[in-house]
Structure 1
Amino acid sequence: MAHRLFEGKEHAASYWKYRISPSHHLIEKVLDFLEKHRGRPFNLAADVGCGSGQGTLLLAKHFVSVVGTDVSPAQVEVALTHGKAPNITYKQCAAEQLPLADGSVDLLTAMSAFHWFDRPRFLQEAHRVLKPRGCLALLNYTVDMEISYADCCSHTLNEVCKEFYAALQPYRSPHIGRSSIELYQEAYRSIPYPDKEWHECLWVTKPMPLSSYMGLIESFSSYQTMLRDDAQKATKLSEDISQRLLSVMGVTSTDTEVEVSVKYFCLLACKPEEE
């Protein structure tokens, strides 16, 4: 069965506030793959594990209609509040049981969500709902983010960040292991479609206050697990890291803007024509 996390209202709200969406460049790479293998028009996209709807919104301008699905009522509620567009519909459901007709979807995406699914069952469900020559896009990013600040040694800054990530490592879910990229590579190898592509080291850079970078890391499942296990330990860790970053930057306010770079990877696959 899929692992159900990120379902509290506060956690769902933090997703909308802090999570970094795929860049327009990365979405264009997905759409180029779809156009190459299926062609236009782009009618229906389904964004599975859509969370608070950031990625769903990115698809809306390119498709006649988009369906965003998530197993969490709280995430769907946030998406309905913030991730709205006239051609988007949100549905609460499991990733492995989509309320979509056989052969109805041009593009099926899962953005930073596939690793939480029952992966074999989801891939079967994706095959069911995709049109012939429809495409699957599974996107995620690695935890080795980098931050930079003007007139500051980036290496020293990121050494502090690495300590933050290392402290959270023991709290990662066994379901995703030490690195989710291996799960996606395994899925890439298992998908029997002849037309498929693997891309990594796709950097997305976004300016944000240091407080938002901290909020981003605190939205991770590993930090949330630490928070549930030992709230005092988690809070102290976050405060200590924040103060050390401020010290390296030579500033006193967490409103100070930094640049956060996130390394994405993606799996693209095209369902063959049915025999």
Structure 2
Amino acid sequence: MAVRLYEGKDHAEAYLQFRVAPQELIGVIVRYMEKRTKTFRLAVDVGCGSGQGTTLLAPFFAEVVGTDISPAQLEQVSADGGPSNVSYRQCPAEELPFGSGAVDLVTAMTAAHWFDRERFLQEADRVLRPGGCLALLSYTMDMELEYGDVSEALNDICNEFYAALFPYRNPHIGSSSVKIYADMFDSCPYPDKEWNECLRIKRTVPLSGYVGMVETFSSYQVLKDKDPAEAERLSSHFRNKLLAAMKTSSPDTEVTMVVKYFYWLARKP
């Protein structure tokens, strides 16, 4: 893996608690595959973190394996082990422990931007069987909030929050992760492939859940490592601004969080 992050225990626990599991996109992936294959033996979720997305694949495949380079993330996998056909392995994204042509689906959910992209695509091609599928998805950092008639005001505040964190963004992903995925899509040689710029996924969460998710961003974690007091001050400042705009004092007040996913799908010839 080109960049190692999410390896602290606290960060891994927050990731498990606040990140959104993309149930809707699992359906998109499965429907794409169903039009092209009847083989659903082995799915591999690369950069799986604590397995929120990995377990969603379990109903559709005989076996699902989540891989991640971070022991702290894998330690957060559900204590009960989750579905019986799901397992996890620690390894780099560019060195997958599967034989050539053994895998029906390789996916990476909000992770591929951290990989050595060229090596990862080569490794995905190696392990995929002919007719197997590659599915890469992520979301932009400009999540929106909906709440009564003050949604626009809330999103102005959210954008201020994102702007304050932007200087701490990891240079590996540059100013836009969308471009990273678009470049990977362009470099994928498979003729059967699809790109989707935006799928809006909505979740009802307490306001504290939205703030908690922003705090899992790598940019916030960089600030937190550099200046913990400033990170806490910044987070509290924007939480209080949001509460004031909502005319409530409780961070447990529910809002609708809109996460804007983008993704691409490809079938190996």
TM-score bracket relative to the smaller structure? over 0.9
Q: Answer yes or no: is the 8 Å Cα contact 1:54–1:83 preserved in 2.
A: no
Change (3 A) 1:70 1:82: farther
**1:94-134: per-residue Cα shift (whole Å, max 9, x none)?**
00001111101101000000000000000000000001010
2:128 aligns with one of 120, 127, 130: 130
Residue in 2 that maps onto 1:108: 106
Aligned to 1:222: 219
Give me the whole-angstrom Cα distance separating, in 2, the residues matched to 1:126 and 1:221.
25
Confirm or deny: 8 A CA contact 1:114 1:138 kept in the other structure.
yes
2:114 touches 2:173 (CA, 8 Å); kept in 1? yes
The CA RMSD over aligned residues, in Å, is 1.1
Matching residue of 2:88: 90
Q: Which runs of 4+ in 1 moved over 2 A?
A: 80-83
Gaps of 5+ in 1: none
Q: Distance in 1 between matches of 2:122 and 2:224?
A: 35
Q: Deviations over 1:27-86 (max 9, x none)?
A: 11111111222x224111000000010100110111110000000001111125376210
Aligned partner of 2:17 in structure 1 is 17
The answer to whether the Cα contact below 8 Å between 1:80 and 1:90 also exists between their aligned partners in 2 is no
- 8 Å CA contact retained: 1:30, 1:137: yes
Letter in 1 for 2:151: S
State the identity as a percent: 55
2:28 aligned partner: 29
Instruction: State the alpha-carbon separation in 1 of the partners of residues 151 and 80 from structure 2.
Output: 34
Equivalences for residues 159-174 of structure 1 within 5 A = 159-174=156-171
Mapping of residues 37-186 of structure 1, within 5 Å: 37=36, 39-81=37-79, 84-150=82-148, 152-186=149-183
User: With structure 1 as the length reference, what TM-score do the two structures score?
Assistant: 0.96
The one-letter code sitting in structure 2 at the alignment partner of 1:3 is: V
Given that 1:53 and 1:82 are in contact with CA atoms closer than 8 Å, whether structure 2 keeps it comes out as no
Check conservation: 2:39, 2:104, Cα contact below 8 A.
no
| Cα shift at 1:261 | 0.4
Tell me the CA shift for residue 232 of structure 1.
1.3
Q: Partners in 2 of 1:268 and 1:83 — Cα distance?
A: 29
Is the CA contact 1:209–1:254 (under 8 Å) kept in the aligned structure 2? yes
1:228 Cα deviation from its structure 2 partner: 0.8
Q: Deviations over 1:184-212 (max 9, x none)?
A: 00001111110000012101100011111
- Find the aligned partners of 2:183 and 2:82 in 1 and give their Cα distance: 34
Alignment of 1:208-247 (within 5 A): 208-247=205-244
CA shift in 2, pair 1:82/1:95, >3 Å: farther
Q: Give the conservation status (yes or no) of the 8 Å contact 2:23–2:53.
A: no
Secondary structure of the 1:120 match is helix
How far is 1:23 from its partner? Answer: 2.9
